[in-house]
Structure 1
Amino acid sequence: MRHGEPATFVLIHGGGSSSWDWHLVAPLLRERGHEAIAVDLPIEDDANGLSEYADAVVEAAAGRPNVVVVAHSLGGLTAPIACSRTPVELMVLVTAMVPLPGESMGAWWSATGHSELGLAMDTKKQVIDLFMHDLPVELAQEALRHGRDQGGGKWDEPSPLEAWPDVPTRFLLCRDDRFFPPEFMRPVVADRLGIVPDEIDGAHSVMLSRPAELADRLHRYWTERA
């Protein structure tokens, strides 16, 4: 890799979401000279789990130069598996789950203590309050319309992740996040990654509320890495 080369950002959405989540960030990354590929994970099929999600990321990255895997929320469980299966220059976790080797999607919540936060998301209002309270009402409603069913057939299947991949990793924490609050995430990141997270203003859906700031961060992570 030569200094100044553009990156290929492979963007992973969170649970019950889609590539649409990145529709504001992707063009901004292209304006900064990079390629951006937002992946639709095969989440709706109960037959699929983390291994199949990772395969979708690997397929999207195949043959691309200077790959940076960026994962949001539940996508954080997929990212390190994908990074262990394909050449990657950098991994960026954006207010994302940080797994331990072998940890299932279902086990993470109690293992980290998140289940003890007692967060309710039974209604659309509760979902908006937790995930996107800083979005304009119209954009929040549109985000809900682009949601997809999150299959649970392999929710308790152990992750195929055997060890954290040998890939430089950054974690970006959102200061206004109510779903993964900063006071919850900071010790999780310290314990599981051994790093201090970077921080940005914004709630859980920061790619929709602050796309330019997020694109700038991702671009800077790449140039600093290079």
Structure 2
Amino acid sequence: MAELPATHVVHGSTGTARPATFVLIHGAWHGGWCWRFVAERLRAHGHSVFAPTLTGLGERRHLIGAVTSLDVSIADIENLLEAEELEDVVLVGHSFGGLVASGVADRKPGALRALVFLDSLLVESGESAMDVLPRNVVEERLAAVAGSGQNVAMPIPANLAGTGIPEDHPLAGWVRRRQTPHPLSTYLSPLTLRHPLGNGVPSTYVHCANPSYETLALVRERVRARPGWQFETLDTGHDAMVLDPDRLVSLLERIAAETASP
């Protein structure tokens, strides 16, 4: 089994951050594995961290047929909050995971301290992910589904361009090995919300701007127009948890501290 580069090690605790509880939701084609370096650092700083894999992905890929809609992914995280009796949670949704975080906030706002949408998809109630993606991206993904013969899944992308990870990056091979097909139904089914997006939970959108993932340009325009939301920029690519876990951890700890009760 290939070893991960030794450069990705956990740094010692700074001792400056108040302990918080983080639930980290991964994006499309990923699994809880992608949060490894962020979770290690947060735990080393005394935080509690949960990085579950959504049904049908990663080590749960054998259950892809059970994912009939976006609601299944939302229920994964809703049930985690209940099973672990989590409260005052900083809920982080990366990419596709932003849709899941939105649904969880609609149903369980009392369990949350803050929402962090990390370079994520966002839709309004009644919209699906495909409704906010550029038309050429939608056509490419549907064509890939048709060509694969897997009518329940979007095949793994042919390259890592969408992740922002250079092909010569030390972890490029690790990410390629771990990716799995993504349940198509989660992109086709609409998000149903009973409350405004975010449901009153302090919300921060984080744009990973180097390189910027232009597939999400429309989403970022919408976010900038939302009153009361914070907007942050990280000098890293789309898969920030892989590319620059230290920078991401610092941002997450700051957001946790700023939204903590006195």
TM-score range, shorter chain: 0.7 to 0.9
Query: What stretches of structure 1 of length at least 5 have no aligned partner?
Result: none
Q: Is the 8 A contact 2:93 2:120 kept in 1?
A: yes
Provide, for residues 92-143 of structure 1, a one-character-per-residue CA deviation record: whole Å limited to 9, x for no partner: 000001110121232221xxxx335799788989632332334753411110
Q: 1:134 to 1:195 in 2, by over 3 A?
A: farther
Q: Distance in 1 between matches of 2:53 and 2:251?
A: 23
With structure 2 as the length reference, what TM-score do the two structures score? 0.74
| Residue aligning to 1:188 | 222
Q: Distance in 2 between matches of 1:125 and 1:193?
A: 35
Q: 1:39 to 1:74 in 2, by over 3 A?
A: same
Q: Is the 8 A contact 1:46 1:152 kept in 2?
A: no
Measured after TM superposition, the shift of residue 10 of structure 1 is 0.4
Alignment of 1:107-186 (within 5 A): 107-109=131-133, 114-115=134-135, 127-134=159-166, 136-163=168-195, 164=197, 165-180=199-214, 185-186=219-220
Q: Distance in 1 between matches of 2:182 and 2:200?
A: 29
Q: 1:174 to 1:68 in 2, by over 3 A?
A: same
Residue 99 of structure 2 corresponds to residue 77 of structure 1: yes
| Residue aligning to 1:101 | 125
Aligned residues: 219
Q: 1:15 to 1:70 in 2, by over 3 A?
A: same
Which protein has greater RCO, CA pairs closer than 8 Å, 6+ apart? 1
What percent of counterpart residues are identical? 26
| Residue aligning to 2:87 | 65
Q: Distance in 2 between matches of 1:118 and 1:157?
A: 14
Matched residue type, 2:250: D
3-state secondary structure, aligned to 1:143:
helix
Q: Is the 8 A contact 2:121 2:216 kept in 1?
A: no
Measured after TM superposition, the shift of residue 157 of structure 1 is 2.1
3-state secondary structure, aligned to 1:189:
helix
Measured after TM superposition, the shift of residue 156 of structure 1 is 2.4
| Residue aligning to 2:74 | 54
| Residue aligning to 1:201 | 235
Q: Distance in 1 between matches of 2:166 and 2:178?
A: 18
Q: 1:98 to 1:154 in 2, by over 3 A?
A: closer
Measured after TM superposition, the shift of residue 145 of structure 1 is 0.9
Measured after TM superposition, the shift of residue 191 of structure 1 is 3.5
Q: Distance in 1 between matches of 2:125 and 2:160?
A: 32
Q: Is the 8 A contact 1:12 1:71 kept in 2?
A: yes
Tell which structure's C-alpha radius of gyration is larger: 2
Q: Distance in 1 between matches of 2:243 and 2:186?
A: 31
Deviates more, 1:198-207 or 1:5-14: 5-14
Matched residue type, 2:94: H
3-state secondary structure, aligned to 1:127:
coil
| Residue aligning to 1:30 | 43
Q: 1:23 to 1:156 in 2, by over 3 A?
A: same
3-state secondary structure, aligned to 2:224:
helix
Provide, for residues 19-72 of structure 1, a one-character-per-residue CA deviation record: whole Å limited to 9, x for no partner: 111001001111222111101111352442221111111122220232111000
RMSD of aligned C-alpha atoms?
A: 2.8
Query: What stretches of structure 2 of length at least 5 have no aligned partner?
Result: 1-16, 145-154
